[in-house]
Amino acid sequence: MGNQTTVTEFFLLGFSGLPELQILHFVVFFLIYSAALVGNFLLVLTVVQNQSLHSPMYFFLVNLSLSDVCLITATVPKSMAIAWTNSRLISFSGCVMQVFLVVTGAGAELTILTVMAYDRYVAICHPLQYTLIMNWNTCLQMAAASWISIIINAVFHTANTFRLPFCTSSIKQFFCDIPQLLTMSCTDAAANVVGLLVEAIVICSFCFFLILTSYGFIFFTVSKIQSVKARSKAFSTCTPHLTVFCLFLSTAIFSYMRPKSISSVAIDLLAAALYSVLPPLLNPMIYSLRNKEIQMAMQKMWKKLFEFCLIKFPMKRIQWIRI
């Protein structure tokens, strides 16, 4: 403790020290980040522009897209900057912001997926009472409660982590992550580790139980539907949500709860990339490919845009046709 110094900046871990691989890292992450942003914002724009999608299910889907953008923006741009500039330095305040955004994005994704499962349960198991139970006031309150509780939780864990003194400034990860930061503390961080683990187990178990219970009732109700078409339609509204939830849960478990025997620097980097990059990238694709209403709404939106361009730039269209 006598040699303890105040850490004012940190050094993140790069994927490679070779210039060629750094360029490849930048290009891959740039393409992934661009695709994730375009996919999520296109999904939000589609829902906003189409009156037929102004329902609770798509309202929560917009919130899910916002949490995806928050999660991937917290990690990927800085990693791209490291690959481009070859500087692994991140300021203390930048590290604080990364931790806050990662916890907020991941927590919001989990809570919103839980709320979406409840929404599907009410829609399928209690269709006659759906508009009464899932009215707009209730939806707004549920979304606000999710975001506010997660932000408060993120502030608490961020403050509780950075109140600790750090003996080293090298983070063995490509972004500031609480488990990695706790291992760098000069003091005993066992209380932080236990608190973080207990909260993660309690919250994840609670959300998993609610989702599992909701889909248990859903499958029981759908199995009693005689019409094959109606049964298929009911399952089609649930399949994207279940796929997204399984993707998020599996990557999170692999990232934070895998055995130490299969842990290494390379695997840690891969696991963190899967957890923070893959769900935000694939979620809009899953919903777009598996949901016919979104597909139809996107087709209408692109058709209107195409018609607008034809009306707005008729001369250019004629010249292009002649060429």
pLDDT tens digits for range 89-121? 899 999 999 999 999 999 999 999 999 999 989
At 190 the pLDDT is 81
At 260 the pLDDT is 67
Q: Are 119 and 60 in contact (CB under 8 A)?
A: yes
Number of other residues whose CB lies within 10 A of the CB of residue 275: 22
- Residue 275 reports pLDDT greater than 70: yes
Give the C-alpha separation, 60 to 121, whole Å.
14
Level-2 CATH architecture, domain 9-290: Up-down Bundle (1.20)
Give the C-alpha separation, 93 to 95, whole Å.
5
C-alpha torsion angle, residues 94, 100, 103, 104 (rounded to 10): -120
Percent of the chain at pLDDT above 90?
Answer: 28
Task: Point out the least confidently predicted range of 67-71, 149-153, 220-224, 286-290.
Answer: 286-290
pLDDT tens digits for range 148-169? 999 999 999 999 889 888 888 8
Domain edges within the chain: 9-290
